[in-house]
Amino acid sequence: MADSWSFQNQVQSVDARLDNDTHVCLRRVRYSDLGRIEKGISQMSDQSRYLRFFSGSKTMPASVVERLASVDGTNHLAWGVVNMDENDLPAIAVAHVFREAKTSDTGEFAIAVLDQYHGQGVARLLMTAIFLDCYCEGFRHLRIEILRTNKKANGLIRAIGAQPCSLEGPVTQYDLVITDAISALQKMDSPNAIPDIMAAFAPG
């Protein structure tokens, strides 16, 4: 994919269907989602919470939750996935990118999906949305830290082109070129809704 390929980032939300026909909505995270973020962390299994936050605590310090909810759309981007088939519209996944410095084109990426939604393509849909948004905001590289024991996450991030830059200790550090990741996701056969996300960000 050419680096000059254009997108538009006025997208606020995208409706999609998982391959099992679950109706979901991908949308930007707002500060009013603070309670949902806190609840989502508590609903993760101890193992998933440890893999995401490197901590097994069921609750995160208020300062951590506050930081995750404080999204400015430029230096901190965040998208979440809501299950539209459930009455209380629960949040089932969220992804964040924090810019390393105000003039940097590199950000720190992290993603979390509730355990019962693992293996349904949620992470790939969410990555498609936030990577497109990142590209529009001038990001070109992402740094990602994943515990080496998290084999599924390591496999997924390598599948979209991430290159390990440090293999020392319990954490693998990756560098991901955003255009490579978007191209890799675009070529994937599943989930079926990836083209819907791409179309939402296409120039009008």
The pLDDT assigned to 203 comes to: 85
**Res 27 pLDDT > 70:** yes
The predicted-structure confidence for 71-84, as pLDDT tens digits, reads as follows 999 999 999 999 99
**Res 2 pLDDT > 50:** no
pLDDT band at 3 (very low <50, low <70, confident <90, very high): low
pTM comes to 0.92
**Res 69 pLDDT > 50:** yes
**Res 167 pLDDT > 90:** no
Compute the mean pLDDT over every residue in the chain, rounded to the nearest whole number. Answer: 91
**Res 1 pLDDT > 50:** no
Phi first, then psi: what are they for 57, rounded to 5°?
-60, 135
93, with CB counted inside 10 A (0-12, 13-18, 19+), is buried
**Dist CA 60 CA 150 (whole Å):** 21
The pLDDT assigned to 197 comes to: 96
The predicted-structure confidence for 124-166, as pLDDT tens digits, reads as follows 999 999 999 999 999 999 999 998 889 999 999 999 999 999 7
68: CB partners within 8 A, 6+ apart: 29, 37, 78, 94, 96
**Res 61 pLDDT > 80:** no
**Dist CA 105 CA 189 (whole Å):** 29
The pLDDT assigned to 114 comes to: 92
Does 167 or 20 have the greater pLDDT score?
A: 20
pLDDT band at 4 (very low <50, low <70, confident <90, very high): low
**Dist CA 16 CA 185 (whole Å):** 16
The predicted-structure confidence for 98-117, as pLDDT tens digits, reads as follows 999 989 999 999 999 999 99
| CA 63 to each of CA 110, 136, 157, 204: distance values in angstroms, whole numbers, following the listed order | 17, 28, 28, 39
Q: Summarize the confidence of residues 84-107 as an average pLDDT.
A: 94
> What is the rounded radius of gyration, in angstroms, for the C-alpha atoms of the chain?
16
pLDDT band at 121 (very low <50, low <70, confident <90, very high): very high
Beta strands in the chain (DSSP E): 13-17, 23-28, 76-83, 91-99, 106-113, 141-147, 163-166, 171-177
90, 110, 153, 128 alpha-carbon torsion, rounded to 10°: 70
**Dist CA 147 CA 61 (whole Å):** 21
Q: What percent of the chain has pLDDT over 70?
A: 95
